[in-house]
Amino acid sequence: MAHLTTSVEYGIHGLLWLVGSGDTALSSRDLAELQGISPSFMAKILPKLEKAGIVMASEGVRGGYRLGRAPEEISFLDIVDAIEGDKPLFDCQEVRGRCAIFGGNPPEWATNGVCAVHAVMIQAEKAMRESLASQTLADVASRFDRKAPGEFFGDVRSWIDGRMSDRTVRRGSPPREPPG
């Protein structure tokens, strides 16, 4: 978790759209357009979430992504680890053993045990991971539901229904005859 990239932010927002879509599967393109980002960028995030069981994919005209678990069961830590991997926040370089005073041969007292700087970083990472683990998609979706006006959710439902209708028409229509 060395650095939380924009992939985490877009992944979380995409998952929140899935919370709001109910049983309707949304394509990676739908999720990207809802956020105003590149569909190819979103398409790189979703397989990581699928591999972690956070989303599940379905094929076909009505295919796309749905949540793989209930929103109450998906923590922000689950999402971060799925997208970024379980990397440490701090990569200790053992600087304390390379002090010029030691001439390449540090005494045991200087390198024994966990570096004091590293210990602080371990503590910070533990606190951050605990905080991320304590927040679920359901928690954040609930906060958003209280903030957004009711008509917003109707607008979203209409947009999603329009997308589903467009998919059915495009894929189910017979090929058009060329003019002339």
Residue 68 lies in a domain: yes
Residue 117 lies in a domain: no
Residue 28 lies in a domain: yes
Residue 102 lies in a domain: no
Q: Residue 123 — φ and ψ, nearest 5°? A: -65, -45
From 93, 73, 69, 87, select the one nearest 128 (Cα to Cα).
87
What SS3 class is residue 158? helix
Structurally, the chain folds into a number of domains equal to 1
Residue 26 lies in domain: 6-90+136-170
pLDDT for 1 equals 46
Highest mean pLDDT pick, 18-22, 95-99, 103-107, 135-139: 135-139
Q: What is the pLDDT of residues 24-53, one digit of tens each?
A: 899 999 999 999 999 999 999 999 999 999
The mean predicted confidence, pLDDT, of the chain is: 88
pLDDT above 60: residue 171: no
Chain-centroid distance, C-alpha 76: 8
Mean pLDDT of all residues in 11-28: 93
Q: What is the pLDDT of residues 66-79, one digit of tens each?
A: 999 999 999 999 99
pLDDT above 60: residue 90: yes
pLDDT for 175 equals 45
Tokens of residue 43, six digits: 């398409």
Q: What is the CATH number of the domain that holds 35?
A: 1.10.10.10
Residue 57 lies in a domain: yes
Q: For the purposes of burial, counting CB atoms within 10 Å of the CB of 73, is it exposed (0-12), middle (13-18) or buried (19 or more)?
A: middle
Residue 12 lies in a domain: yes
Residue 144 lies in a domain: yes
Q: What is the pLDDT of residues 129-166, one digit of tens each?
A: 999 999 999 999 999 888 989 899 888 888 888 888 87
Residue 123 lies in a domain: no
pLDDT for 94 equals 86
